[in-house]
Amino acid sequence: MRGKERATAHTKAVELLARREHSQGELRAKLRGRGYTSGDVEEAVTELADQGLQSDDRFLESFVAARAARGHGPLKIAAELRARGVVGERVQEVLEPHAERWNELARTVREKRFGVDAPQDPKGRISAMRFLAQRGFDGDQIRAAFSASAE
């Protein structure tokens, strides 16, 4: 029975990875949540990583690209990654190449929500700034989203 349990943990992990990329932490949590033993889970996750079927780097790249496409900023993306068990320098390494895009993305998100012309009244500006902050943009990126519209 033990061999069958390992095979099913491995099979279930492959099924999960067939739907979308998962971090090792996510795979472990999902497999444990389905009742597989820690040993079976570790063996399955390690084997998949060794085979190249699971990659935290691939997961990070696809996750950042998908969230940025939804208009999420780097702070929110980093928080979502931490919630999924991905921490450390690798998160910053993945976000860093997109650094030049964050200001432009913040402006695009602001324009989509509030129109091409930035709100001029204080209440409207504060509302737009709060919206961008909730989307995960930092202060510099929010200011850039408004200064870009003045040009």
Structure tokens that stand for 141 in this block: 């990126």
Give DSSP secondary structure letters for 9-46: HHHHHHHHHHHS---HHHHHHHHHHTT--HHHHHHHHH
Q: Exposed, middle or buried, 119 (CB in 10 Å: 0-12/13-18/19+)?
A: middle
| 2-54 has CATH 3.40.50.2300 classification | no
Structure tokens that stand for 120 in this block: 């001029």
- If one compares 7 and 12, the residue with the highest pLDDT of the two is 12
Q: Give CA 108 to chain center in angstroms.
A: 19
User: pLDDT per residue over 123-134, tens digit each?
Assistant: 999 999 999 999
Q: Would you list the domain boundaries of the chain?
A: 2-54, 59-150
pLDDT (mean) for 40-60: 92
User: pLDDT per residue over 99-113, tens digit each?
Assistant: 889 999 999 999 999
The structure's pTM equals: 0.80
pLDDT of 120? 85
pLDDT (mean) for 6-28: 89
Sign of CA dihedral 109, 148, 128, 63: positive
Model confidence at 91, pLDDT cuts 50, 70, 90, reads: confident
User: pLDDT per residue over 20-49, tens digit each?
Assistant: 999 998 999 999 999 999 999 999 999 999
CA atoms within 13 A on the CB side of 29: 9
